[in-house]
């Protein structure tokens, strides 16, 4: 538990210390995120150069069903010479549930997430695209590392 608080503290300190960059090109965006976990994504601007992203994911196969909610604090940095294109990084947490369809057993899990991605806002159109990678350190019910989900986000900006 001490390691977890140390990691979370370092992530929070790092993100707070680096939020003085130029802001992204929109205030809010809502749409879908498509990867191994498909779901709904909502982004909102917090401070100059930072956004909060909430992702509701779901996945199912013949044996299991998963539902997960992820919250990410993201720091945006413009890419020079490419108007509307930013790269971003950050961290957050997730909570989810997995259900075994055959045994009717389920578990709740918690995780710590990182995020690294690219974000593009089309000039003159309310469309935003992102491509990101979200690795996860799962804390419960068993501690393990999930190397991450690569996802494509397609959102309407406002």
For 117-153, letters b (16+ CB in 10 Å) and e give: bebbbeeeeeebbbebebebbbbeeeeeeeebbebeb
The tens digit of pLDDT for each residue in 30-49 reads 999 999 889 999 999 998 88
Could you tell me what percentage of the chain is helix, strand and coil, using 3-state DSSP and rounding each to the nearest 5?
A: 10, 65, 25
**pLDDT at residue 15, rounded to an integer:** 44
> What DSSP line would sit under 88-113, residue for residue?
EEEEEEEEEEEEETTT--EEEEEEEE
**pLDDT at residue 13, rounded to an integer:** 44
**pLDDT at residue 155, rounded to an integer:** 98
Total count of domains within the chain: 1
**pLDDT at residue 99, rounded to an integer:** 93
Domain extent, residue 7, equals 2-157
The tokens 């992102």 sit on which residue? 130
**pLDDT at residue 104, rounded to an integer:** 83
Task: Give the C-alpha distances (Å, rounded to integers) separating 39 from 25, 48, 117.
Answer: 23, 27, 17
For residue 130, give the CATH number of its domain.
Answer: 2.40.160.20
**pLDDT at residue 120, rounded to an integer:** 97
**pLDDT at residue 8, rounded to an integer:** 46
Residue numbers of the chain with a pLDDT score lower than 70: 1-24
């Amino acid at each position: 538990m001490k390691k977890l608080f140390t990691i979370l503290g370092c992530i929070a300190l790092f993100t707070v210390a680096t939020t003085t960059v130029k802001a992204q090109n929109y205030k809010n965006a809502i749409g879908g995120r498509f990867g191994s976990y498909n779901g709904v994504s909502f982004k909102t601007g917090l401070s100059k150069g930072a956004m909060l992203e909430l992702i509701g994911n779901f996945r199912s196969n013949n044996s299991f069903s998963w539902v997960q909610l992820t919250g990410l604090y993201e720091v945006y940095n413009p890419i020079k010479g490419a108007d509307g294109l930013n790269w971003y990084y950050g961290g957050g947490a997730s909570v989810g549930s997995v259900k075994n369809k055959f045994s009717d057993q389920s578990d709740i899990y918690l995780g710590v997430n990182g995020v690294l991605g690219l974000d593009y806002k089309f000039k003159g159109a309310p469309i935003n695209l992102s491509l990101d990678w979200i690795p996860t350190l799962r804390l419960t019910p068993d501690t393990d590392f999930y190397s991450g989900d690569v996802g494509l986000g397609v959102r309407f900006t406002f």
